[in-house]
Structure 1
Amino acid sequence: MHRLEDDTPERELPTLSQLITAAAATLARAGVASPRVDAELLAAHVLGVPRSRLLTAAVTGPQAGELERLVARRAAREPLQHLTGTAPFYGLELAVGPGVFIPRFETELLVEWALKQPARRVVDLCSGSGAIAVAFATRRPEAEVHCVERSERALPWLRENVARLAPAVRVVEADVSDESVLSDISGTVDLLLCNPPYVPEATPVDVEVAEHDPHDAVFAGDDGLALMPAIARTAARLLRPGGRLAIEHDDTQGESLPELLRGTGLFTVVEDHRDLAGRPRFVTANRGDQHRG
């Protein structure tokens, strides 16, 4: 993009349309997957208007300079959400930034499934930004929602989103493998949801993920299942008999994770669910009536 100084007279500025077109070209050369969309979203962020109003928006010299700086950072493959400070999820705008996993659209499918389940007490493990817990709580305000996160870097983002969007949600700083986590509600949970780290270590990922998402929020051992036994044990302890479990997983785990859950002998009606592209996306199961270990 042509360098724009903040004090450039407005009559010499390119139009907003020209700025966006140039930004999109810059992002396309950098290998950004959605260059035009990202350019428009950055422009909307700088101007403080919805993307739908860009056609009628005017740009000032300082705004043009700020857009150029953000485009350069996006071209260096800094995540768009880090630049805008927010990530859309299930109709909400979640605060995100360095240190927290950026929620993905695919996880909305798990939320849609969850909202169809009768549940008074709900737990979200590996909560990250709080996307699942907050989305559920805002649509089911009568439910009692608890979320668990261990990362010191992710917790401030989680707490900010809960405080702003769903202040009744309980935030617990703990590791999901801790046998005492949420011990005060053991055996009483109706619905347990989890989007854990599940990507196998050798899986190629985008630059944005490799360099900016927290490694331990993405990867989980050679097969991506390193955390799943601990999640299964914690879920079995927390859920009431007949309570329901849903775990998002990698598209290579559509058979291995359901097999892992069946192998515990603690769950029944284990089913895998596919995303809109037909790929395995999350598994659900019911807590059996067996004695709790």
Structure 2
Amino acid sequence: MGARPVPYGRGTGVVRHIADGATAVSVSPPPSPLPQAGGGVSAAIATAAARFAFSTTPRLDAELLMAHALGVERNAILLDPDRYAVPASFAALVARRLGHEPIAYITGTRGFWSIDVAVGPGALVPRADSETLLIAAQAHFAGGAPATILDLGTGPGTLLLAALDEWPARGLGIDFSAEALGYARANAAALGMADRAQFLRGSWADAIEGRFDLILANPPYIGTAETLPPEVRDHEPHAALFAGADGLDDYRILAAQLPALIAPGGAAVIEIGATQAVPVSVLLEAEGLHVALHHDYGGNPRVLLAR
């Protein structure tokens, strides 16, 4: 007879019938309670982190939520946690995270490169490994700077605005999502870059004429049958994630468009999935482009620079 869950005190018991007819009961402890307002900040962070076992960064998640609830920088609670009492809003933030909502959606911002960008439902959450695009671009323009930048699939403007913070250039961001472009325009204004960044709704480079010194692109590259963590699958926009059965649909479009967009001496810098260096390189090289591979902070293939 198979196992079946039964109530057992405050925890959960699993009853199994064994060969001699006896019954064994295994009891798992109840989950830690949500942190209470007015308590100690250090203990509340530890309690929340213990509940976030599904996360790869449980302690960091708890610290960021506490800092957001208190309205202070994370460093403030790391340096002097006893200065603060747990605010009433912290338990609700923890509960949202327990529903696998991304931290960036809960706090409304995400740090990327040298800037902070506002993000929320409808906008892809920036990942640290995407900073590899800027590192590759820095290497290409060593001793110089791009004057014009195009960001294809700009989302909340993450890559374009980080690049404009790096160089005194002008840029254009394209995205099909009106919701994502709303974040992008708000981010440009908040960063004081509205006069240098323009955003248009479109499908890749279909309506674009002219050439650009630097082209940035982080297209969807997840295969439709691939499994994603709940916080990505259930919260982030699928149009920014999935690209056909093999994850290459949007690369096929971009490969055909890029040669006409790259200015002399310029480059297109494109994010890829960890297993896509070869197939995407083949697509780009078939269009006459020269391709170089760059690895992310974890040593994984992450970016192709095409020129």
- TM-score range (shorter-chain normalised) is 0.7 to 0.9
Alignment of 1:140-151 (within 5 A): 140-141=167-168, 143-151=169-177
Q: Which residue, 253, 265, 269 being the options, matches 1:246?
A: 269
Note if 1:191 corresponds to 2:218. no
Runs of 4+ in 1 over 4 A off after TM superposition: 3-6
Q: Which residue, 292, 296, 299 being the options, matches 1:271?
A: 292
What is the CA-CA distance between 1:257 and the residue it aligns to? 0.3
Q: Which residue, 148, 151, 164 being the options, matches 1:137?
A: 164
Aligned to 2:305: 284
What is the CA-CA distance between 1:32 and the residue it aligns to? 2.0
Note if 1:127 corresponds to 2:154. yes
Moved more, 166-175 or 52-61: 52-61
Q: Which has the larger radius of gyration?
A: 2
Change in Cα spacing, 1:5 to 1:25, as seen in structure 2 (3 Å) is closer
Aligned to 2:97: 74
Aligned to 1:10: none
- Structure 1 unaligned residues grouped into runs of 5+: 7-12, 287-293
Aligned to 2:197: 169
Identity of paired residues, percent?
35
Q: TM-score, normalised by structure 2?
A: 0.82
CA deviation profile, 1:197-243 (whole Å, cap 9, x unmatched): 11122222111110111001011011111011221233222222443
Contact 2:259 2:287 in 1 (8 A): no
- Structure 2 unaligned residues grouped into runs of 5+: 1-31
What is the CA-CA distance between 1:14 and the residue it aligns to? 2.2
* SS of aligned partner of 1:171: strand
**CA distance in 1: counterparts of 2:248 and 2:259, whole angstroms:** 17
CA deviation profile, 1:121-158 (whole Å, cap 9, x unmatched): 111110011111000101212x1211111102211111
Aligned to 2:71: 48
What is the CA-CA distance between 1:35 and the residue it aligns to? 1.2
Task: Report the AA paired with residue 71 of structure 1.
Answer: V
Q: CA RMSD in A?
A: 1.7
* SS of aligned partner of 2:275: coil
* SS of aligned partner of 1:14: coil
Aligned length: 268
Q: TM-score, normalised by structure 1?
A: 0.86
* SS of aligned partner of 2:263: strand
Contact 1:123 1:191 in 2 (8 A): yes
Aligned to 1:153: 179
